[in-house]
Amino acid sequence: MFNDKSILVTGATGSFGQMFVKTITERFNPRRVIVYSRDEWKQSEMQKDKAFTQGQVRFFLGDVRDKDRLCLAMRGVDYVIHAAALKQVPAAEYNPHEFIKTNVDGATNVVEAALHAGVSKVIALSTDKAVNPVNLYGATKLCSDKVFVAANSYGGESGTIFSVVRYGNVVGSRGSVAPLFANQRETGSLTITNPGMTRFLITLQDGVDFVLQCLEQMVGGELFVPKIPACSVADIANVIAPDCKWNTIGLRPGEKIHEVLIPEDESRNVLEFDNHFVIQPIQSFWGNKIGVLGGVPCSEGFKYASNCNCDNLTVEELRVLLSDFLPPPQSS
């Protein structure tokens, strides 16, 4: 479905965006892949990589806050992947208006531009922090999720459909715990919020693969959640820095002890598949087609969290997943 198609990725200079562009140009033969982002320096750095110098990759400067620019960029586009967002939790608390402009108003602009351009499919990236949010970043992403699901009401004759993908921590992403522990290992001491804290872990490539799968399967209105393994922060610390002391500092503002991808309140709307779940919309006011996908309804009160109804990573599995952050082998 991606051959000879035009695909636009917002926030494509980020970690996910770069991996997505690289994957889709390696596996398929798209007509165009448009890198849409507001940072000219990141775009120039990206263009130095041979993986992005193929003829299909186009670089388009623009901000999701600018609807006119989005409309221009989406002309003739078949699929849109919306990955642009402001994400830093502490920054959101201090600059709420900026996060609302990008994460909420920007989502609305993407929807309206896609409808105006007659895009076929739009899929947006969400986060576990959008579930029962305790910080402003999570609240803006929850609003964004609702905007994209409700957008299916406006597809009309263009037939544009919208869905959302939600998953947990990406291994080794900027600001995550694995690179932090690897850096702190040199000091002999780690700062740990809570050893019993648990987190889902997914690789960047697995995240991209899941989005590609969802793009293929989506019929509009779904919120896709992959089945991914979890572990405790103590497990990560023991694998990356086994000889270090721990300095337990407690939860930071806006943090949760466990990640929740599907809350109990939504259990009645959840369908389970072999490798993922689908959360159906609370109201199918545009006509719900999700039933054609199949799936098994989850029981009342079902919850999918990093300490509940998920697989736990073994030490060996965690070592493979965190191989880039392990201490160097000791010479004999």
Looking at the fold, whether 123 and 211 belong to one and the same domain comes out as no
Looking at the fold, whether 185 and 89 belong to one and the same domain comes out as no
Alpha-helical segments (H) within the chain = 15-27, 40-47, 67-73, 89-94, 96-99, 106-117, 136-150, 177-184, 204-217, 233-240, 315-321
CATH of the domain at 253: 3.40.50.720
Looking at the fold, whether 162 and 257 belong to one and the same domain comes out as no
Q: What total of structural domains would you count in the chain?
A: 2
* Per-residue model confidence as pLDDT tens digits over 308-320: 999 999 999 999 9
Looking at the fold, whether 186 and 322 belong to one and the same domain comes out as yes
Q: What rounded mean pLDDT belongs to the chain?
A: 93
Looking at the fold, whether 319 and 182 belong to one and the same domain comes out as yes
Boundary-marking domain end, from 151, 166, 181: 166
Looking at the fold, whether 116 and 175 belong to one and the same domain comes out as no
Looking at the fold, whether 68 and 156 belong to one and the same domain comes out as yes
Looking at the fold, whether 36 and 142 belong to one and the same domain comes out as yes
Which residues span the domain enclosing 223? 168-332
Looking at the fold, whether 199 and 112 belong to one and the same domain comes out as no
Looking at the fold, whether 12 and 154 belong to one and the same domain comes out as yes
> What pLDDT, on a 0 to 100 scale, did the predictor assign at position 292?
82
* Per-residue model confidence as pLDDT tens digits over 243-268: 999 999 998 877 889 999 999 999 99
Looking at the fold, whether 282 and 175 belong to one and the same domain comes out as yes
Cα 152 to Cα 136: distance, rounded to the nearest angstrom? 25
* Per-residue model confidence as pLDDT tens digits over 171-222: 877 778 899 999 999 999 999 999 999 999 999 999 999 999 999 999 999 9
Q: Which residues are catalytic?
A: 129
